Amino acid sequence: MKKFDHIKVGSYEEASQVIQEGEGAIEPIAGGTDLLGTLKDRLLPHYPKAVVSLKGIATSRYIEERDGMLVIGAGTTLKEISESPLVKDHSQALAEAARSVASPLIRNTATIGGNVCQDVRCWYYRYPDSIGGRLECKRKGGDTCYAIAGENRYHSIFGGMSTGGSSCQRACPAGTDIPGYMAKIRENDWAGAADIFFQYNPMPMMTSRICPHGCREHCNQNVYGKSVNIPAVERTLGDYILEHKEDYYKAPEKETGKKCAIIGGGPGGLTAAFYLRREGHQVTVYDSHEKPGGVLRYGIPHYRLPKTIVDQFCQALENGMGIRFVMNTTVGKDVTVEQIKADNDVVYFGTGAWSQPVLGLEGENLTEFGLNFLEEVNTYLKKAMGENVLVCGGGNVAMDVALTACRLGAKSVKLVCLEQREEMPASEEEIQMAIEERVELYNGWGLRKVLESEGKVKGLLAMRCLSVRDENGRFAPSYDQDDTIELASDFIILATGQKVDISFLGDHLSSQLRTSRGLIDANAESGRTRAQGYYAGGDAVTGPDLAIRAIAAGRNAAMAMNRDLDAEKVGNPSHTQEEEVLGPESFTTFDVDGVERTKAVRLRELSASERSLTGEDRSSLDQDTAKQEACRCLRCACYAVNPSDITPVLVMEGARIITTEREFSAKELFTSKLTVQHILHRGELVTEIRIPKTLGRTRYDKRRVRDAIDFAIVSLASAFDVQAGQIKSCRLVLGGVAPVPYQLPEVEAYLTGKKISPETAKEAGEIAMRQAFAMSGNEYKIFMCKDVIYNRVMEAGR
């Protein structure tokens, strides 16, 4: 065992103080039979510097009766509890449960306080560090639960319990609850899935097509095979939403009378508009283009995102929701920001990054700017260009430009970029497409000068790029000026980045809001700027970035604006729920067969020869196929079961748990969160347990593999008040079957008033297992539960 210090204290107060001062490096130790095992195997990523021994607290061991309650000090050993006549008399279940723990050797030292706070026995969680390294499972703050697709015969039959967001959700800039909507889709509840999705993002039909989906890299199906094709499922959900757009983009029931202006009709601005309008505000979107959509319409090629989809979405916002669009209006020229502000309560800047950066390249004026090129093609579906096109840049915009040039009929398309093939920022799928369509890649070359003759482009002189980034990972390319090549071309397109231009703000606002990098200074969380009533987000704040980041910024700013407008009063249903609250009623489940499939579904894609400038390259999955893919979601959570024999009894008996700070009901402390540690504060210690007298006879039944030193596979804490063969009242709580003790209110309701009979006992088991969800290896536990309940009910009649 790695060394730690040992601190003796004389009271709980002293112990609490030492632990609080230890700032997480000091842990309490009572009997030690759980903690020492954890430390010996180095199960946890953190290791305490010291333990505070509670053994020296002389007043912690007692069993007494007080006001009709059985009161037990937390330091009382399980042996004392199992042998106490007072306990046996007051709660046979507790005595039986205490006696069922481990072995006499352990019960002689283990305390009830330690027992109720103990850690799970899941074999993945407990995998010792000395044999190949501990497993950083979900419960330890890692990514996934290995029992989902692994050995789970002793795991939960009622699903898992969330331990904070899943890794895919954390990877999504918008924080989309991906496992949440996948679960709804598995139930074929597309409306439910849409509701979850809309909490984060109002345009899945766009993001499913254009987002690079960093979530997929963090999908834990990667451990077993291919990640879940999240964009494909999202796309079908987006199709569903468009099919039912009147349900999702509708005017609010009540108007707040507040007015909001959105400057910039791109993904971020439209998101802000959506969430503001939904709350009942009047929203006006200003944009310099002819039609709304921003980069969705003008930056992304038709074949990736058909403009009919952008049209449908924007029309839904306009006609369905009643958002006003003021198009062909360049703010700062046609109308000033101040004029807009005068008509509105709040103003949001989602103006994006549309300007061409000046590279200082010789002959740069002869080149074409990538975004302008795309905008022109997207608008007119044609463009005069040369025969041999050269695209500069290695990102997704460069890929879009290159593919667009191909499909416009260029004789040859070359692409030159600083990065080596594997370093290219463009997504792999896009690069593959470009290669298929005969784009020639020149990796590792920087731009030296445009070669010209009589004002006409002849080609590009490129120089060897030695490295793109410096040792700190910052963009700082270094070149070998002497190692050059000439790339022949009569049409060069620069897709090496875009720039933010905020000159529209005017001098006064600009002086307040402009950062040293020429961006708008706004709070990353709320979008608030220094100027009251002005908010900003997206590329204008961050510099060129992903659409999903702009969407997240638009949503967050809308929430901040809504709060600042103080508009909750009008009573529109609140849609902007910040966090999903998981109670014990909502255990997480997955599809047992689906998670075993290691191959991901793929969208049907046109072959290189079939692809065109206007037709979409890929087509959506039907709902059934998308649902099948959603079945592959592991629904990462903790699927271990509560290890304590004592806690089901305490929950069943309605016990009160006293800590150094508070008093809890056993139900609250032991069933509302995955672990007791999630509820107790640092240094908060369980000091006493109070058990009221339960009506009838209480029992604890425990099924396990071995009769000693074993945890329950299934246990049942029960109380039955039976008179003349009729159940007057009863309580039943299962242990070892769910992440927390599992209460059975339906069974209790069913049994109350019933005459005990084999049929009744059997039906009780059936009702108890209605919500059961067997994993691949633990269906037997369902039968075992029914059996335990059957026997206990029958026994209660004797």
Partner 1 sequence: MKEHLEQICVTVNGVPRKFVIGDGVGCVSPSETLLDTIRDRLGLTAAKRSCEHGACGCCTVIMDGDAVASCMVLTADCDGSQVTTLEGLCDPVTGELSPLQKAFADNSAFQCGFCTPGIIMSTRALLDRNPSPTEEELTEALSGNYCRCISHYQVIRTVMGFINEMNRKEA
Q: Which tokens sit at 29?
A: 């130790």
Return the SS3 of 161: strand
Q: Which residues pair with 5 in a beta bridge?
A: 50
Q: Verify binding: residue 46, partner 1, rule CB under 8 A.
A: no
CB of 695 to partner 1, least distance (A): 30
Residue 536 contacts residue 557 (beta carbons within 8 Å)? yes
Choose between 581 and 705: whose C-beta lies nearer to partner 1.
705
**Closest CB to partner 1 among 608 and 708?**
708
Among 55, 226, 697, 762, interactor with partner 1 by CB under 8 A: 55
| Residue with Cβ nearer partner 1 (53 or 526) | 53
Among 1, 131, 342, 705, binds partner 1 (CB under 8 A): 1
Q: CB under 8 A: which stretch of 31-39, 319-327, 515-523, 602-610 binds partner 1?
A: 31-39
- Tokens of residue 640, six digits: 């271990």
Options 24, 40, 359, 663; binder of partner 1; rule CB under 8 A: 40
Which of 17, 20, 53, 510 is close enough to bind partner 1 by CB under 8 A? Answer: 53
Tokens of 358: 């000046």
Residue 108 binds partner 1, judged by CB under 8 A? yes
Residue 34 CB, nearest approach to partner 1 (Å): 9
Name the residue type at position 328. Answer: N
Check residue 58 for interaction with partner 1 (CB under 8 A): no
Handedness of CA 360, 364, 367, 368 (dihedral sign): positive
Which residue of 11, 20, 32, 92 would you call a contact of partner 1, by CB under 8 A? 32
Task: Give min distance, CB of 51 to partner 1, in A.
Answer: 8
DSSP 664-682: EEHHHHHHSSS-GGGTSPT
Site string for partner 1, 488-517 (x = CB under 8 A): ------------------------------
- In whole angstroms, how large is the CA radius of gyration of the chain? 32
Is residue 690 within 8 A of residue 655, CB to CB? The reply is yes
Please, which residue, 51 or 450, has the CB nearer to partner 1? 51
Question: Least distance (Å) from partner 1 to the CB of residue 677?
Answer: 21
Distance of closest approach, residue 33 Cβ to partner 1, in angstroms: 5
Cβ proximity to partner 1, 31 vs 294, nearer residue: 31
In the region spanning residues 315 to 334, those forming contacts with partner 1, defined by CB under 8 A, are none
Sheet strands (E) in 711-751: 714-723, 726-735, 742-743
Dihedral angle of Cα 632, 637, 639, 643, to the nearest 10 degrees: 180
By beta-carbon proximity to partner 1, the closer residue of 78 and 785 is: 78
Q: Nearest Cα to 261, choosing from 504, 524, 543, 558?
A: 558
Min dist CB 89 to partner 1, Å, is: 21
Is 358 among the residues that bind partner 1 (CB under 8 A)?
A: no
Smallest Cα–Cα separation from 398: which of 496, 478, 483? 496
* Tokens, residue 457: 């482009």
CB of 7 to partner 1, least distance (A): 8
Per the rule left: phi > 0, alpha: psi between -120 and 50, beta: everything else, 678 is alpha
Sequence-distant (≥ 6) Cβ neighbours of residue 550 within 8 angstroms? 266, 267, 268, 271, 350, 352, 537, 538, 539
CB of 268 to partner 1, least distance (A): 51
Identity of the residue, 18 or 794, whose beta carbon is nearer to partner 1 in the bound complex = 18
The rounded distance, in Å, linking the Cα atoms of 377 and 315 is 22
Q: Which is nearer to partner 1, 34 or 701 (CB)?
A: 34
Buried b (16+ CB within 10 A) or exposed e, 700-712: bbbbbeeeeebbb
Instruction: Please state the closest distance from residue 715 (CB atom) to partner 1, in A.
Output: 18
Does residue 106 touch partner 1 according to CB under 8 A? yes
Retrieve residue 390's tokens: 């050269």
CB of 50 to partner 1, least distance (A): 6
Q: For residues 474 and 706, which CB has a smaller minimum distance to partner 1 in the complex?
A: 706
- E strand or H helix at 99: helix 92-100
Q: How many angstroms separate the CA atoms of 46 and 115, rounded?
A: 21
Which residue lies nearer to partner 1 by CB, 73 or 765?
Answer: 73
Rank residues 95 and 402 by Cβ distance to partner 1 and give the closer one. 95
Given the rule CB under 8 A, which of 46-54, 296-304, 394-402, 550-558 is the region that contacts partner 1?
Answer: 46-54
Residue of 3, 66, 770, 798 interacting with partner 1 (CB under 8 A): 3
Q: Are 393 and 371 a contacting pair, CB within 8 Å?
A: no
93 in Cβ contact with 79 (< 8 Å): no
DSSP per residue, 51-90: EEE-TT-GGG--EEEETTEEEEETT-BHHHHHH-HHHHHH
CB atoms within 10 A of CB 538: 36
**Using rule CB under 8 A, residue 49 touches partner 1:** yes
Report residue 282 as tokens.
């009047």
DSSP H helical segments within 282-423, as ranges?
A: 295-298, 307-315, 337-343, 370-380, 396-408
Residue 108: both structure tokens together:
């002689």
Among 50, 86, 251, 613, binds partner 1 (CB under 8 A): 50
With binding defined as CB under 8 A, does residue 4 bind partner 1?
A: yes
Q: Which lies closer to partner 1 via its Cβ, residue 77 or residue 271? A: 77
Helix pair angle (190-198, 178-186), 10° resolution: 170
| 574 binds partner 1, rule: CB under 8 A | no
Shortest separation between residue 686's beta carbon and partner 1, angstroms: 19
2 binds partner 1 (CB under 8 A): yes
Q: Is the dihedral of CA 574, 577, 578, 581 positive or negative?
A: positive
Stretch 700-729 residues interacting with partner 1 (CB under 8 A):
707-709
Site for partner 1 in 7-26 (CB under 8 A): 8
User: Among residues 79 and 555, whose Cβ is nearest to partner 1?
Assistant: 79
Nearer to partner 1, 29 or 219 (CB): 29
φ/ψ of residue 664, rounded to 5: -120, 155
Q: Which of residues 75-94 bind partner 1 (CB under 8 A)?
A: 79
Interface residue with partner 1 among 15, 19, 29, 172 (CB under 8 A) is 29
Residue type, 422: E
Contact positions vs partner 1 (CB under 8 A): 1-6, 8, 29, 31-33, 36-37, 39-40, 49-51, 53, 55, 79, 102-106, 108-109, 707-709
